[in-house]
A = this chain, B = another copy of it.
Amino acid sequence: MPSADQTHMAVLGALSIMPMTGYAVREQIRSTLGSFWSESFGQIYPALAQLEKQGLIERLPSQTSRSAPFAPTAAGLARLRELLAEEPQPSRPRNGTLLRLFFGRQLGAEACRALLEQTRTQAEAQLQSLLVAREELAADALLRDDAPYIELTISAGEHSARAAIAWAEESLAALDALPATPTTATPTTATTTTRSTS
């Protein structure tokens, strides 16, 4: 899947749930899919233009004075199913927090503790916002048919957040148990303990 297709999949998917303007698609992707997907501005509009030219989406006649929303055509829905059926391709992971902890000896135990506390705080906030998301999902009658599937992704976020909290707490305890912190980064100045320059 040539990866522009990934954007097409996300955009078609969003429109399959509810007709929207490009602007709204971006907002939805940011707010609703935000924790596991991202598309930037500069990708969404070109994607919409392409999809419209291919007859996969069309503008609905707008009732209000607001801009006309896009909706997938029958061919568009078929294309969406085709894209969804392809194997998900693994994305390149880049977790800055774990990288820093891996090199924690250089970073120092104190800074590691701060990273862990930050992780825990963020996961707790995430948990809260997922609770809200679940309530909104239950309240929205328009989403009735999609809700069971959306629910799975909310649940994934919760499991992941709870795991992060448990891990952070365990790790903080483990750091406390570290004897005499044999840190390379001493509180004073950068005195190197290991090999030095030639």
List A residues at the B interface (Cβ < 8 Å).
6, 9-10, 13, 16-17, 33-38, 55, 58, 71, 73-75, 77-78, 80-81, 84-85, 88-108, 111-112, 115, 145-146, 148-153, 155-156, 159-160, 162-164, 166-167, 170-171, 174-175, 178, 182, 184-185, 190, 192, 194-198
Contacts and interface: CB of A to CB of B under 8 A. Distances in A.
A88 B93 contact: no
Please state the number of chain copies in the assembly. 2
Main secondary structure of the interface of A (DSSP, over half): helix
A77 B190 CA distance: 9
Contacts of A194: 77
Contacts of A175: 148, 152
Contacts of A151: 174
Contacts of A58: 197-198
